[in-house]
Structure 1
Amino acid sequence: MMGPLNGMKVIDLTHVMAGPTCTLMLADMGADVIKVEKTPDGDDTRRMLPPKIGDEAAAYMMMNRNKRGIVLDLKTDGGKKVLRQLVTTADVLVENFGPGVMERLGFGYEDLKKENPGLIYCSLSGFGRTGPYRDRRGFDLVAQAMSGIMSFTGEPGGAPAKCGPPLSDITAGILAAMGILAAYAHRLKTGEGQWVETSLFEAALVQTYWQSAIALATGIAPKAMGSAHPLNAPYQAFQAADGWIVVGGANQKNWLRTLDAIGAPELADDPRFRTGADRMGHLPELEAELAERFRGKPAAYWLEILDEKGVPCGPVYDMLQALNDPQTAARKMLVEVEHSALGPVKTLGLPVKFSSTPGDVLKGAPVFGEDTREVLTQAGFSDEEIEAFKKEGAVVCAAIDTQVEPRQGSQDPEKIAREARYRPSYG
């Protein structure tokens, strides 16, 4: 696999969202990520509500592409033996089990660093491994609530609202990947591994830089402002004649450019709107003045003229519109990847670009136990040992079915071989 992390081996003991985001980032940049799923039914995202792609849950497919998948029962002697063997040659282990679970299984950091001193061990949790809430379990909803985010999200005077995406989960995954890479750089210089950890709570807090700055400076907690900005105006959504647009006329230059675009130069001399502080102090009046003008013409008209004048702006898309935008395609943020059981499937691309060592999305999410036999064989276990593990219930292996007919139109023998389907065989 290409990518700047080519050669890094990662043991992924995570599930659902935050941990898989972390290991997804590493996999997309070239790391060999071995996703370890539990018996009997694997990652919880496999059972999330529809939609599904074939027999696979769409959520699982999105979060686990580019990874190799194995299935272990860590409550069995065989499962523990396999994991311990894999960890001895790993660079990184990532886990997001509940507090104390890894220690009870015998796989806490202090246990594993004795066998692999260079191991980078990363833990993600709801509130972190220290402090009065260290034993609490956490979810994105709880993190958004307790970080303050829900108090200033939504429309003024409305009920507390969370951000639509699982903000703290995804941010925690990105922070964990960043921490792992920093620890990896340290290990390259010293040979020393270490324990890296972060939490959903901290991940949510770092999304409040602006609001925290305001609260610390004024002693007043910011409130919900809809799409408006707490420090600059106009910087929000406006309704045009046929849809919504966003306008970033935040600094003085862009404010004057906005006035030029909408044909309202007289507002530049209005004492309510002369400076940024004036505009923030009279935000309702500013919104009313601009909203009346934007409602008079279609969104396409405003976007064209605002762009010509140099004002940052854009349409308010739904998800399908965003995925089909030409910029999404140009930046390769929507890509097609081959899944072993389903053929070509679409997924999001790699958001970080490298000039010399580009990452890529090369493999769909693994079916249940797809790579168990391959990974165990590479780890030094014999066929007899693998069969013994299967008999014990310590592992699950998926069998390759090479008898499936290729899709119509496939003539190239190599392509036909690539299109062979994997089907789970639970022996």
Structure 2
Amino acid sequence: MKALEGIKVLDFTHVQSGPTCTQLLGWFGADVIKVERPGVGDATRQQLVDKPGADSLYFTMLNHNKRSIELNSKNETGKEVLTRLIEECDVLVENFAPGALDRMGFSWERIQEINPRIILASIKGFGPGRYEDCKVYENVAQCVGGSASTTGFRDGLPMVSGAQTGDSGTGLHLCLGIVTALFQREKTGRGQKVSAAMQDGVLNLCRVKLRDQQRLEAGPLKEYSQFGEGIEFGDSVPRAGNDSGGGQPGRILKCKGWETDPNAYTYFIIQAAIWDKVCDVIGEPEWKTDEGYATPDARNDKLNQIFERIELWTMERSKFEVMEICNPLNIPVGPILSMKEIMEDEGLYKTGTLVKVDHPERGEYVSVGSPIKLSDSPVEVSRSPLLGEHTQEILSSVLGYNGADLERVIDSGAVGEVKRQAAE
């Protein structure tokens, strides 16, 4: 059986942060019922469209393993249907603007009245405080969570990351909170509220920079490049370019072909335990015993010089040759892989990290699979639903509407233009 088989999730999420969370729950076996506005659906269905007439990749890659029901929650019959969905489901997940559920007439207190066992999981931009009513998007979250101020080069602008630490990162945090609340419910019989703020999620992923902020009180951060350059530190953690954040000096270095290939680079770490091997590989054996290079503390003010010498060596080799030489010696290196190279890596398909998905409107496309692997609950990725594809199915099989009662709901206008048969 699937890990979350039997769990019903009412998915009131849109765009990226919430759908990331509910997609994970679907991958683990939960029945995820995505509620969408009649005739419109999740806004991302029509954002960044690459194939006219088909749902965008933005939508499809965040909504696998879900069923879609169209529902107007402002319609009285729609409120009736929503009430019954809350009665039937174990989890309600939402990432509306602050106060939206209350305005719909479904406050936490009302939801508890309907179903005391349900878990209400919410993503917001901020937790309680001065910013709690503010909306947040991905790049804003990276800025208010400390990521942007510590990303980029010291003499340049703050930078946001290509990794979606605000949206997808917070969705991952919320998923953990939901599963934890489900586990606690097994003991108490009661649901609870679970919340994840995007600012909090980004900050959690930036904890090493919060560490460094406090280390500054004891003196300069010696593993940062500016220490060796004799540049004083200010009162907050600086941007450190590609310096390693883990205490072991590291840099992105040019490899053979860098002049024409924007990704012909490698990340190279001079971990203390393998310093002797690094010296031998790059042809500087005397550095192993030279008192100016032999210890990590001695090397801290010479990191620029050391990495410039290593780069002379890497520039004579491809990024994969650097990996092939260094990995057997336990020297930590990693090629800078482009998205094209990642999509062509057959090993990632074998592990399910990448999957090929068929879609009735857009054909086959490549998506990410589950990053989490369970030995007894393998993930099977199914395509995202068409808008309202499962409306009738959910009304009848989940909520028990049938006959004249089903026709009443369909005719009310609360559930859009019902597709009598699910698309194949």
TM-score normalised over the length of structure 2: 0.89
Say which SS state the counterpart of residue 166 (structure 2) adopts: helix
Of 239, 242, 247, the residue aligned with 1:232 is 247
Once the two structures are superposed, the pairs formed by residues 88-127 of structure 1 within 5 Å of their partners are 88-127=87-126
1:45 to partner: Cα distance: 0.6
- The 3-state SS of whatever aligns with 1:35 is strand
Report % sequence identity: 33
Match of 2:375 in 1: 355
Instruction: Quote the offset at 1:258 in angstroms.
Output: 2.3
Q: Is the 8 A contact 1:18 1:173 kept in 2?
A: yes
Q: Which amino acid aligns with 1:334?
A: L
- Indicate whether 1:132 and 2:127 are aligned: no
Partner AA of 1:63 in structure 2: L
Match of 1:241 in 2: 256
Range with greater deviation from structure 2 (50-59 or 189-198)? 50-59
- The residue aligned with 1:274 is 294
Q: Aligned equivalents of 1:57 and 1:271: distance in 2?
A: 59
SS of 1:395's partner is coil
Q: Which residue of 1 aligns with 2:392?
A: 373
Q: In the TM superposition, what is the alpha-carbon distance from 1:53 to its structure 2 partner? A: 7.9
Q: Can you list the C-alpha shifts for 1:128-164, whole angstroms capped at 9, x where unaligned?
A: 2x21211111112111112221112123311111001
Deviation per CA, 1:153-210, whole angstroms, max 9, x where unpaired?
1233111110013211111100100000111110011211100001110011111111
Structure 1 CA distance for aligned equivalents of residues 204 and 416 of structure 2: 40
CA shift digits 1:32-56 (9 cap, x unpaired): 0001112331111112123348611
SS at match of 1:353: coil
Partner of 2:80 in structure 1? 81
Q: Using the alignment, how far apart are the partners of 1:278 and 1:4 within structure 2?
A: 52
CA distance in 2, matches of 1:78, 1:256: 73
Greater shift, 279-288 or 33-42, is seen at 279-288
Q: What corresponds to 2:350 in structure 1?
A: 330
Residue in structure 2 matched with residue 36 of structure 1 by the alignment: 35
> What is the rounded CA distance, in whole Å, between the counterparts of 1:87 and 1:206 in structure 2?
31
The one-letter code sitting in structure 2 at the alignment partner of 1:240 is: C
Distance apart, 1:356 and its partner CA: 1.7
8 Å Cα contact 1:232-1:250 kept in structure 2? no
2:241 alignment partner AA: G
CA drift at 1:339: 3.0
- The residue type equivalent to 1:242 in the other structure is G
CA distance in 1, matches of 2:342, 2:321: 20
Q: Which moved more, 1:212-221 or 1:102-111?
A: 212-221
Aligned to 1:302: 322
Tell me the residue number matched to 2:207. Answer: 209
Distance in 2 between the 1:383 and 1:340 partners? Answer: 30
Deviation at 1:248, TM superposition (A): 4.3
Q: What is the SS of the residue equivalent to 2:61?
A: helix
Distance verdict in 2 for CA 1:74–1:294, change over 3 Å: same
- Change in Cα spacing, 1:356 to 1:104, as seen in structure 2 (3 Å) is same
2:366 maps to 346
Where in structure 2 are there 5+ consecutive unaligned residues?
218-234, 259-263
CA distance in 2, matches of 1:266, 1:326: 42
The 1:254–1:201 alpha-carbon spacing in structure 2 relative to 1, beyond 3 Å, is: same
Q: Which amino acid aligns with 2:59?
A: Y
- How far did 1:76 drift? 0.7
Deviations 1:270-317 (A, max 9, x none): 444333333333332222222222223333332211122222222211
One-letter code aligned to 1:192: R
Which blocks of at least 5 consecutive residues in structure 1 are unaligned? 402-419, 423-427
Indicate the residue corresponding to 1:222 in structure 2. 237
C-alpha separation in 2, matches of 1:327 and 1:228: 29
Are residues 113 and 250 of structure 1, via their aligned partners in 2, closer, same or farther at CA, if it must alter by over 3 Å? Answer: farther
> In the aligned structure 2, how far is the partner of 1:67 from the partner of 1:272?
60
* 1:385 pairs with 2:383: no
> Residue 9 of structure 1 contacts residue 33 of structure 1 at CA under 8 Å; is this kept in 2?
yes
TM-score (norm 1): 0.88
Q: 1:396 to 1:259 in 2, by over 3 A?
A: farther
Greater shift, 107-116 or 228-237, is seen at: 228-237
Distance 1:292 1:233, change over 3 A: farther
For the Cα contact (< 8 Å) 2:391–2:419, is it kept in 1?
A: no
Matched residue of 2:306: which SS?
helix
- When the two chains are superposed, the root-mean-square deviation of aligned CA atoms in Å is 2.1
Verify the 8 A CA contact 1:370 1:399 in the aligned structure 2.
yes
What is the alpha-carbon distance in structure 2 between the residues aligned to residue 86 and residue 357 of structure 1?
Answer: 26
Separation in structure 2 between the aligned mates of residue 239 and residue 310 of structure 1, nearest angstrom: 20
Residue 333 of structure 2: aligned partner: 313
User: Whole-Å Cα distance in 2 between the matches of residues 21 and 291 of structure 1?
Assistant: 39
Tell me the distance in 1 between the aligned counterparts of 2:42 and 2:247: 43
Deviates more, 1:188-197 or 1:347-356: 347-356
Three-state SS of the structure 2 residue aligned to 1:322 is helix
Distance 2:169 2:87 in 1: 29
Name the SS for the 1:117 alignment partner. Answer: coil
